[in-house]
Structures are given as structure tokens and as C-alpha cells.
Amino acid sequence: MTLATATAPLTLHPVELGPVWHGAYVIRYTGQIPFGATLLLGVPDAANTIDVTHQNHNHLIDQNNLSRFLSLIGNAGWWGAKGRCRLFLKQGSSITPASNEVIFDCPVKPLVCKPKLGGPRLGISHSDLFSLSYAGDDLEGSFGRYLHVPAIDSCVYFRSGHGGGKLETENDKRGLVCTSYITAVWGLAATPGGPQTWAGTDIASRAGAPFFCADVGVKDQPLDQVKAYLSKNMDATFLVGSSGHIVLVVRGYVHDFTVVPRRGYNHRSIEEWKPKAHKWTVGKPMAQF
């Protein structure tokens, strides 16, 4: 195989982020493919390509080849950085650069959950969990980031909280907020108006799907009464929510994403848990960890 002299009969347009369910990226070109030629998208070069000969020229990446595109980003070590791509033409054994090179934003590094996403530690190592940030636009978790479910080729990607179903590309937003942590613990896909948008009290008092919380008689109570109840029930799992926060309590330990004592995942005993003053509701979910 030889690499012929570069020509550029095709124009590759600026790459845009799009909804994950439509391929996550909008990659398009203009120009004509020579008859009998194979069109390759190099990420970034002729040694790392995707055959896009029969793809819509306005949408080269779709659900069928997205995993391959993301794997090439990972192979290049571009998570949360800038990637490069260009088109190549293959005719016989000759591969020729056929377009301009385009720079694009790459998603932050995904999670590899074993055996799957779920549980207080989300199926990842302790160090990986502690590497995640509190990923809201402010201290209240506005536009909180969340995880894309189901996994793509065994990888769980982070999505932007700004709508549009787009992947998150900013490394300092590689993480979760309090509600998206809870939905990740349950392995739930994000839906419009779903639990990732609910107040903590609504999650803790949810008698139906997806949490099926039993009412334990602790509703809108001050912290000291909540702690007293939890301290007497150290062998169970609880969801404890206020109007502005939600935590998971598992066998006497509080798990959540917040900004204190550290910005990101926190894990401490009931005694060490010192949140802001709120009225709290306790629910006992069907799922026990």
C-alpha cells in the first residue's frame, strides 16, 4: 500500500457536536467521490480510519459507527482535548488525502463500569470515583452533568447538562451532581423531567418507580432527628433528601456529590455528615446496597 501525493477534491466542514442518539457528531463534506473509490474518515490519519463511503455526506457518523469513532479518539489519547480528522480516498492499494483537516472537541474520558453501572461506587474503583468533580455550573448544581445510559461499547460517557443530548467535552465538568449521582447508582437513563431533575425530597418520598421508597415516618424533619433515626438503623439503605440536596445512606455511611468537604464525591459517617441547615425526608428504597 502506498500513500499518494495529497490532493483535496473534497471539503470537510467544521465538526459540530450533536445528540448522542444521532451519532454525537455532525461531520459532513462537499464534493464528489471518484467512481469506484472508497471514502475513509481518518482520525487523524490513514492508519486510523472509518469507511464512510456509503454514509450520508451530511452525517458521516451515526449510531452504527459512533463506537468506532470514539474508540479512535481514545486510542489517540484525546479525551477532553482537541481531535483531528480528515478524509482519505482509497483506490486500489493507494490511499490519498482528499480533504482539509478539521479540529474538533473530544468528549471527556468515559467510565468503564464493572460489571455494569450501578451501586454506591458506580462499578468503578475508589480512586476513579474520587477523581470525578462536582459538575454543575454553580454551587447549586445548575445544568448538572450526568451519565449516558446505555453504555457505548462498554464505556459510560458524560453528557452536558445544557440540553441537546450532547457529550461533555470540558474536563472540569467530568463528574456529577447530587441528583445525577443517585440516578447513576440506580443505572437510570436520563429522561425529560426524570429523577435527575427532581428535588431531593421528591426522590426520597417516591413511593413508585424507580425508587419505590417506603415511608419510614421521617418527613421534613431537622437534621438531628434524621441522624437519630439513621443511627438506629445502620443495617439498611436510605435516600435522604431536602429541597436542595439528596444523599444516599448505606449502612451508616453517607454518599453524595457536593462541594463540601470536597468538590465531588464524598463519603463519610452519619456523625461526620454536616450539611447545610434543611428539613430532611428519609425514604427506604426497595433496592438495598
Residue 239 has pLDDT above 70, yes or no: yes
Within the chain, all domains assigned CATH 2.60.40 are found at 2-105
State pTM to two decimals: 0.92
Taking CB atoms within 8 Å and a gap of at least 24, the contacts of 49-53 are 49/88, 52/87
Residue 6 has pLDDT above 50, yes or no: no
Q: Cα–Cα distance between 289 and 269 in angstroms, integer?
A: 16
Position 8 confidence tier, pLDDT thresholds 50, 70, 90: low
User: What is the fold, at CATH topology level, of the domain defined by 2-105?
Assistant: Immunoglobulin-like (2.60.40)
Residue 113 has pLDDT above 60, yes or no: yes
Q: Cα–Cα distance between 163 and 70 in angstroms, integer?
A: 21
Measure the CA dihedral 188/190/194/200, to 10°.
70
Position 192 confidence tier, pLDDT thresholds 50, 70, 90: confident
pLDDT score, position 9 = 86
